[in-house]
Each structure stands twice: as C-alpha cells, then as structure tokens.
Amino acid sequence: MSKPVNVRIHRGDTGIDVPCELMHKGMDEDGMDQWLIANATFRPGIDTVLIGVLPPRTGIALQW
C-alpha cells in the first residue's frame, strides 16, 4: 500500500493551502488502492486538490 504524499486543498479565494488527512478505504474491484480526503471541505469551482506524489494504481476521493 502506497500512500499519496503532500495532499492539500488550495483555496482559490484566499490562496491558502489546507493540508489533508487521508483515510485508507482499501482496494477496489480493479486492484486500485483507494484513499479518502477526510478532514476538509472541498468547494467545486473555487478550490483545487493538489497532490505532491500520487503512487501508481492509487485513487483519491472527496467526501461530500
């Protein structure tokens, strides 16, 4: 299991980067390692998710 590194949400209106806490959700049916951003609110159209390192065969999801 490889964890994504330096995941953060960039607030488009303030320019601030909010570090994200990741929760491991396991493997999906295709063998992709799934992670959930657990501690931040994402605002579509305003914010951007930034990822320093996304390991191969790894996905990140947002909780709405």
At residue 29, the pLDDT reads: 94
Mean pLDDT of 19-27: 95
Q: Please give the tally of structural domains in the chain.
A: 1
pLDDT in tens, 32-42: 999 999 988 89
At residue 64, the pLDDT reads: 63
At residue 62, the pLDDT reads: 87
Mean pLDDT of 20-39: 94
C-beta pairs of 38-44 under 8 Å, 24+ apart in sequence:
38/63, 40/9, 42/9
Percent of the chain past pLDDT 70, that is, above it, reads 98
Structural domain including 28 reads 5-62
pTM for this prediction = 0.86
| Triad 7, 9, 11: Cα angle to 5° | 155
